Amino acid sequence: MLTTLKLTPAIDASTAQFLSQHYVISASASWQLDCVDGVFHLQHTEHPALNLAIDFGTGKYRHRNHYLGKEPLVNAIKIKGKLPQALLDATPGLLQDSFMLAGRGVQITAIERHPLLYVMVNRALARISAQTNEQHHTQTPPHIDYRFGDANTLVKDFATPCIYLDPMYPPRQKKALVKKSMQVLHATVGDDADSDTLLINAQKNNARIIVKRPSYAPPLANCPPDLTYQSKTTRFDIYLPQNS
């Protein structure tokens, strides 16, 4: 997990101050955060191919938000054929799934505990909002209440009809190519070693819980789900409210 970080002069003072509360800021750190055209870029100083940038107006984010085709997650979270009005994303990561759901009208609250991910995603959300306002788009960007904090301590008492968990996937026995973005996340954020505890805490909340898992992995905390929605390579384990 990342403990030291290099910041270029392009990083604004408020971001630098926030990050300095969580990391040792050092010119000799292996990972560098830069800002190019308003987008935060994270890059390994010795292996430039290991890099990550988050921009909601391009690539997969834009495609998933505008393409209204079949999304396995959309089908998995529906309650009686309808999307929930609101959802708590307790493991937002790059925010890909929540951004897509918000684009379909779901009110999202996302709680991110990793400071570096938080500032990168927060900047991307502010940027897409500013771009939308400048271009006078008729469709405003998805509303997401994005917060910094530890969902493990908040999830059991948060008022919401649905809770979404998408912890880091466990390693496969067979070696396979891992997406570059996931390589960067594993190197800088680490594994979600407490994901079992997160599910247990979430079950104290009277909410529907959806857990995204790879097909090869067992359920979190070895807790059998009430329902399962299976896509090609992904499984969604669904836990119904205990008081339903």
| DSSP code of residue 30 | S
Q: How many CB atoms lie within 10 A of CB 140?
A: 9
Q: Which of 108, 107, 146 is nearest to 126 (CA)?
A: 146
Tokens 């684009």 -> residue: 103
pLDDT averages per 10-residue partition of the chain, 244 residues: 96 98 98 96 96 85 57 90 96 94 93 97 91 58 88 95 94 68 91 94 96 95 96 94 77
Backbone torsions φ then ψ of 73, nearest 5 degrees = -65, -40
Residue 244: per-residue pLDDT = 60
Residue 136 has which token pair?
């006078």
C-alpha span between 137 and 167 (Å, rounded): 34
The alpha carbon dihedral of 187, 143, 233, 225 has a sign of positive
Per CATH, domain 55-239 is 3.40.50.150: yes
What does pTM read for this prediction? 0.91
How big is the chain by its Cα radius of gyration, in Å? Answer: 18
- SS3 percent helix, strand, coil of the chain, rounded to 5, is 30, 25, 45
What lies within 8 Å, CB to CB, of 182 at 6+ separation is none
CA–CA separation, 223 vs 97, rounded Å? Answer: 23
Question: Is 134 annotated as ligand-binding?
Answer: no
CB 86 within 8 A of CB 95: no
| 166 annotated ligand-binding residue | yes
Q: Backbone phi, then psi, for 183, in 5-degree steps?
A: -60, -45
104 labelled binding-site residue = no
Closest CA to 164 of 130, 133, 205, 125: 205
Alpha helices in 140-218 (DSSP H): 151-154, 180-188, 195-202
Pairing of strands 4-7, 31-36: parallel
Domain definitions of the chain by residue range: 1-53, 55-239
